[in-house]
Amino acid sequence: MTETLKLAGRDLFWPPADELTEAAERIRARLGDWPPTHVDWRICLTAPDVANGGDLIVVADLQQHGEQIARWMTQGAGVIEAVAGRAVLHLGGVRYQLEGHLAEDWIPALAAFLDCGFDPHDALVLALAWRDGDEAKSGDAWPCDLSRFPRVAGLPDAPAQPFAACPDALGLYPVLPTAEWVERVVGFGVKTVQLRRKTAEPDELKKEIARSVAAGREHDAQVFINDHWQAAIDAGAYGVHLGQEDVHTADLHALAAAGVRLGLSTHGYYEMLTALHFRPSYIALGAVFPTTTKAMPTAPQGLARLARYVKLLDGVVPLVAIGGISGDVLPQVLSTGVKSAAVVRAVTEAADAAAAVASLQQAFA
């Protein structure tokens, strides 16, 4: 008999549906221990009289609901438009479009993944990767077969050829603020670094990028440039690292044609699928832990999620863990199976940068 986990104390569905609740509890029981969700989501199969910020209202056709949609969203609710082979989530002014398989149990699966603490767009990805009866199979029931996962729709065309490859195991990956830091760290023997220059005049920025690229060539190191893709092309950089928002503005076709490697940031399942569409050289997974080096759009992922991401994507694309990683936690990060970890303060704020790099490198040995 399949184990169940009672999800007591709140309404999972509106109107209440015992059969759906029982299915959600069976699925949730097979998904393991996760921190409590920070939002008590309620999946509404019929529109409630008054929607709230914890409601996800499922409809078959947005056009049939007209002005109701705008009112629900004003009230803070999300709307999921679901028809055969397609589910579109409208939440917080963002449209998340997915194409894939809608199992008979996709709605209780969605409730179960929401209870695991995943945001609605990531929980919806997992619900579309779920198959009826997965909760009854032996072993790990968590979706980890990439061929079952949905596709993100509505994205710009990817370049005709995948981005140039980089090593599967990038190892220690310091993210550094200046060309001087790049020169120092590649001089310590580090083979992969990133120049993340936040502020600089255009002429100064070009000089910084040129210096960094030259240092990489001198020490046979792979230098990625954060954000400034055109200057990176002009300087002949090994690679460029971009955020999710940049794939809509950067000329990815020019980057690919120039042979520049591409790394893309991701913060969960939906963004991983988005990144995979563009066939990058590597995908960064984060933020693993809280970080003060930049404002993050999502809560820290934690090691349990990182391990799940690695299980899904290992062997598909090189992976880099990033966000709040210090020497103290690096062994735990690597225990998830990820073969590369980006660090910032662990190097730039170390009392002895050379000693810090040597100690961090030992974790990869």
Closest CA to 32 of 102, 107, 117, 110: 117
CATH 3.40.250.10 given to domain 171-364: no
Question: Residue 283 forms beta bridges with which residues?
Answer: 264, 319
Binding residues, by number, are 194-198, 226-227, 246, 265, 291-294, 324
Cα dihedral across residues 57, 59, 62, 68: positive or negative: negative
pLDDT at 11: 83
Q: Looking at residue 284, what is its pLDDT?
A: 98
Q: Write down the pLDDT at residue 70.
A: 86
User: Which structure tokens are listed for 347?
Assistant: 């190097």
Instruction: Cite the annotated binding site for Mg(2+) by residue number.
Output: 227, 246
Integer CA distances (angstroms), 176 to 154, 167, 183, 208, in order = 34, 20, 10, 12
- Contact (CB, 8 A) for 89 and 57: no
All structural domains of the chain with their residue ranges: 13-152, 171-364
List beta partners, residue 265: 284
Per-residue pLDDT in tens (0 to 9) along the chain, 365 residues:
356 677 766 789 999 999 999 999 999 999 999 988 888 999 999 988 889 999 999 999 888 887 888 889 889 999 999 998 999 999 999 999 999 999 999 999 999 999 999 999 999 999 999 999 999 999 999 999 999 999 999 999 999 999 999 999 999 999 999 999 999 999 999 999 999 998 889 999 999 999 999 999 999 999 999 999 999 999 999 999 999 999 999 999 999 999 999 999 999 999 999 999 999 999 999 999 998 766 666 789 999 999 999 999 999 999 999 999 999 999 999 999 999 999 999 999 999 999 999 999 999 98
Quote the pLDDT of residue 1.
38
